[in-house]
Amino acid sequence: MLPRIVVAGNGQLGQMLSQAGAPMQIEVLPVDPNGDVELGLRPDDVITVEIEHWSDSVSGLQLKQHPNFRNAAALYAVIDRQRQKALLDRLQVPTSPWVSLEGDNLQTQLESIGDKVIVKRRRGGYDGRGQWRWQKGDQPETEWAGECIAEAMIPFSHEVSLVGARNAAGEKVFYPLTRNWHENGILRASVANLPVPAEQQRNAEAWLGRVMDDEGYIGVMAMECFVVDGELLVNELAPRVHNSGHWTQEGSAISQFQLHLRALADLPLITPPVEGASVMYNLLGRDWKPEWLQVPGVHVHWYGKEIRPGRKVGHVNICRADVASLIDSLQALQALVDDDDKVVFDWSIAQLQG
């Protein structure tokens, strides 16, 4: 009998985990971890997360205190950016220079890592929120002390991410590195299965594997990296399925969501087969149009959320057997999207053309 997988969080990631579980008859139950209700958890449930932060409410404590709550140590290490950076340092995983902002001499601390700096809240904040740019000569904000870390701004050529999974036996599998484009801290698009230097893939797998082993992690974890002069610097970790892995829904025979469930339910892990080429396009504060479905390789995933500016309300995967066919589909879809999203397709096509 396969366990029921209870997901702390009932947003789009929980929704997609439920969809991935259905063909294998794995019951997936997304719940609100901030509620004040009894959740009716069973002793053999397995608890996973789609969000990293929630309150110590009645529901939240039930989830955290369940004996099968997975990855408590990893969540503790990762949800605070100071602890996350310290973990990466301890495991000798390269990152940009950073400092934890404490006390009164913030100017000196900021200048110690560079003339241009990104300040980030230690806890919370995502999609560009809870972050500030600082450069030498600016006045630091006193509220940063004790609440933020600072990282040197890195002159990177592009950003990539690695999605991998580990099971309870310590077996690990990985997808190919994915190239990503962020704008104002929000992921706009990902291009998957581009040629990458073997050393980059090898190093990324070794580093993410090191983190998962150290924390006894079970499930899917993602690692975002900057590429600087051909070398990787790790930016952030995500202890869950990740936006930059959404392309795997149609771009691989085993999606990141199925892979996560396999690891949690102790089903066999195999290296996910990836053929062809894929692009994932985030729908930010905009609806989709039925005519998009006439384009070969287009798959729309709609989250059922209220549309608000900048909000992730869905994504589109465009998957074809080869790069030339994918470019044809991207150009056809580009002609149908809103004008201010056409740049997403310009970027994606440029990556595919090398």
CATH code, domain carrying 324: 3.30.470.20
Domain assignment of residue 92, yes or no: no
Query: Within this chain, do residues 206 and 260 fall inside the same structural domain, yes or no?
Result: yes
- Known binder of ligand: residue 126? yes
Closest CA relative to residue 185, chosen from 250, 137, 118? 118
Domain assignment of residue 131, yes or no: yes
The CATH number of whichever domain residue 133 belongs to comes to 3.30.1490.20
Query: Within this chain, do residues 344 and 278 fall inside the same structural domain, yes or no?
Result: yes
Query: Within this chain, do residues 148 and 189 fall inside the same structural domain, yes or no?
Result: no
- Known binder of ligand: residue 235? yes
Domain assignment of residue 105, yes or no: yes
Average pLDDT of the chain to the nearest whole number:
95
Query: Within this chain, do residues 246 and 334 fall inside the same structural domain, yes or no?
Result: yes
For residues 304 and 324, give the distance between their C-alpha atoms in angstroms, rounded to a whole number.
33
Query: Within this chain, do residues 124 and 240 fall inside the same structural domain, yes or no?
Result: no
- Known binder of ligand: residue 246? no
Counting residues of the chain whose pLDDT is more than 70, the rounded percentage is 99
- Structural domain range at position 121: 97-152
pTM: predicted TM-score of the whole model, two decimal places: 0.95
- Known binder of ligand: residue 236? yes
* Section 113-123 average pLDDT: 93
Query: Within this chain, do residues 253 and 167 fall inside the same structural domain, yes or no?
Result: yes
Domain assignment of residue 319, yes or no: yes
Domain assignment of residue 82, yes or no: no
Last residue of a domain, one of 51, 69, 87: 69
For residues 205 and 164, give the distance between their C-alpha atoms in angstroms, rounded to a whole number.
8
Query: Within this chain, do residues 238 and 126 fall inside the same structural domain, yes or no?
Result: no
- Known binder of ligand: residue 151? yes
- Known binder of ligand: residue 276? no
DSSP label at residue 336 = T
When divided into structural domains, the chain yields a total of: 3
Domain assignment of residue 87, yes or no: no
What pLDDT band is residue 128 in, cutting at 50, 70 and 90? low
Non-local (6+) Cβ contacts of 113 within 8 A are 97, 98, 99, 150, 151, 152
Rounded (5°) CA angle 230-162-5: 170
Last residue of a domain, one of 69, 86, 115: 69
* Section 42-49 average pLDDT: 98
pLDDT at 126: 64
pLDDT at 348 over 90: yes
pLDDT at 331 over 80: yes
Query: Within this chain, do residues 173 and 50 fall inside the same structural domain, yes or no?
Result: no
Counting residues of the chain whose pLDDT is more than 90, the rounded percentage is 92
- Known binder of ligand: residue 128? yes
- Known binder of ligand: residue 335? no
Domain assignment of residue 321, yes or no: yes
The CATH number of whichever domain residue 61 belongs to comes to 3.40.50.20
- Known binder of ligand: residue 125? yes
Last residue of a domain, one of 33, 53, 69: 69
Query: Within this chain, do residues 180 and 239 fall inside the same structural domain, yes or no?
Result: yes
- Tokens 């950016």 belong to which residue? 81
- Known binder of ligand: residue 217? no
Query: Within this chain, do residues 146 and 249 fall inside the same structural domain, yes or no?
Result: no
- Known binder of ligand: residue 203? no
pLDDT at 197: 96
- Known binder of ligand: residue 184? no
Between 66-75, 107-116, 159-168, 284-293, the lowest mean confidence (pLDDT) is in: 107-116
Query: Within this chain, do residues 147 and 165 fall inside the same structural domain, yes or no?
Result: no
Between 39-48, 63-72, 120-129, the lowest mean confidence (pLDDT) is in: 120-129
Q: Which token pair is 57?
A: 């409410």
How far, in whole angstroms, is CA 287 from its chain's centroid? 23
For residues 331 and 193, give the distance between their C-alpha atoms in angstroms, rounded to a whole number.
19
Interval 219-254: pLDDT, tens? 999 999 999 999 999 999 999 999 999 999 999 999
Query: Within this chain, do residues 271 and 145 fall inside the same structural domain, yes or no?
Result: no
Domain assignment of residue 123, yes or no: yes
Are 175 and 205 in contact by the 8 Å Cβ rule? The answer is no
For residues 140 and 119, give the distance between their C-alpha atoms in angstroms, rounded to a whole number.
10
Largest CA distance in the chain: 62
